[in-house]
Chains A and B, each alone.
Chain A
Amino acid sequence: MTIASKTPLTAGSTRLISLSSVMPWAFAALFLMCLPLVFQSNSALTIMNQMAITIVFALSYNMLLGQGGMLSFGHAVYMGLGGFFAMHVMNWVEDGLWLPLPLLPIVGGLFGLLFAFLIGSFSTRRAGTTFAMISLGVGELIAACSIIIVVFFGGEEGVSGDRTMGPPVFGYEFLSQLEVYYLTAAWLLLAALLMFLFSRTPIGRIANAVRDNEERAEFLGYSQRKVRWISFCFSGFFAGVAGSLFAINFEILTEENLNLATSGTILLVTFIGGAGFFVGPIIGAVVFTLLQTVLGLHTELWALYLGILFVSCVMFFPGGFAGLIAMHRRPLALGKMHLLVRPYLKVAIPAATSVLSLAALLEILHHKRHSYGDDHAMSLYGIAFDAGGMGSVLVTLAIAALSLFLVSRILPEIKAAWDEANHAGGAA
């Protein structure tokens, strides 16, 4: 049945793509284009590429966790399989197969989709614990296979290749890191856009419905299994795309790319960013890659800090970083953000000092345990000191205690300001 539009003036506007929906993407494209102008070194480009790959992977994971309500412990399988296949195709290209490098992620994606289709056929029957357990089992199975089936997985050395052997695309052969960056960034944008659009389709919305209440969805004509399966296939495709991008960037894939540790990492990344929001995994991937690469350069303990971040995220802000930002929508809508500025500024220095001094404490203790012989010289935040005696520990403890005390004194003020900022109407 068709119903004539009651508002002919606005009827046409729904057909056009509205400016407000295009702007964020145009801005993102511009941003990605300009990034290499600021960060020019090869290592910075590598970090950005790694970030882009993690973003695509995390977004594909969130199609399951955030949008479909499927907690997977084995999502690296699809990224890994897609990546391995892309690696093989890259080698076939070297032997004469015609395929321009920018199209490789499609091939890897389709391979990921194929396996998601096969495995999803039985794993998506139920959500919850059943799905989680099957994903764990399949993850372990494929990781074990990667050592056994040497033809495909290359055993412990993995599979490597050379991305530059394909036909040149407009003269580019992807020799330089910058060219690879633009290729990766273009795929990041395309994949993110497609995943965003997926969430706006009927199946995308019904995936949310099945996540929230699978029984109700069944009584509305939808097979919960089929809805999950379709989401799962799409997720597998984009994981395969991420794997292919990894293959293009690093020219090697090993068991590490599809084992349970990688699956666990992407769960952590998505959760820290905020599974309930489309941008959540993007934030999570950026934070994670920075911790891993930049912080990883300075301290061996980066994984510990990541773990602490994850645990505090689960305990104190389960919406992740995106959730923290989204909390401020209401004060913003009420025009009361200014109430929060002062308390936030006030707490910033003590809070930062607490975090830094607690981290310093961990670093000093770590240094004391692992330094050789009498080499107690240490440098933190640009301050050189002798970590030999208990002096440095006591000083750091004192700073930590003092700053934590200050934070605890400011907290009630923040809470009061928060309540006031979320309170509709005039002054309370």
Chain B
Amino acid sequence: MLEHLELFFKSIFIDNMVFAVFLGMCSYLAVSKKVATAVGLGAAVIFVLAVTVPLNWLLDQYLLRDGALAWLGPEYADYNLGFLSFILFIATIATMVQLVEIVVEKFSPSLYNSLGIFLPLIAVNCAILGGSLFMQARDIPSLGLALNYGISSGIGWFLAILAIAAIREKIRYSNVPPPLRGLGITFIITGLMGIGFQSFGGMLTGDNEPPEDTTPTTVEETEGKERIEEGIEDDEKAVSYNDVINE
């Protein structure tokens, strides 16, 4: 349970997809002009990550990694198909996105209408492939943790795009120097938010050491994180509100 909690908060805040490793920046920049569309895309990303990361974990565990084919018999134990991971992961993702699109269209037309246009975009969103590749690189030990990782890194991405969309809606009323308008200022704000998120680094376990604390302290810490997280977002927004007021 503890390791689930740790991974959950670590993926959302410390290893945030956007601020720590810059994944999914293209759609993050392109679709963050309005909060409503940002929410739609964010939800779709959480959904697809939650499906593809566990699937790719199974593929990695039983097909790709060194000795993964041992379940076929001892003579297969020497195979290492690791070099095929890129092609298999991306094929899984492209297929799953297609499948998810069909299923959602069939069973929940309202959800399909709100996600519809974003789903095909997601196949080439680096956050999705990045989720699977980081899952492999970090040796996530169990299927449950892989699911957790998929969902929580999706939530991290969702938070990031929601925050930047809210800021961009407000910044429209500010007097940004013309050459910085649009793309330039968005980059710089993302950089500043990234610096804010850097402050979460090392909060959970001190360094990258495994947690040895008992459960109560971790709960306190995570609650503290949530408060700080809200505080930071409020600050970010407060800045843009102030700009509006100064105007």
A and B interact physically: no
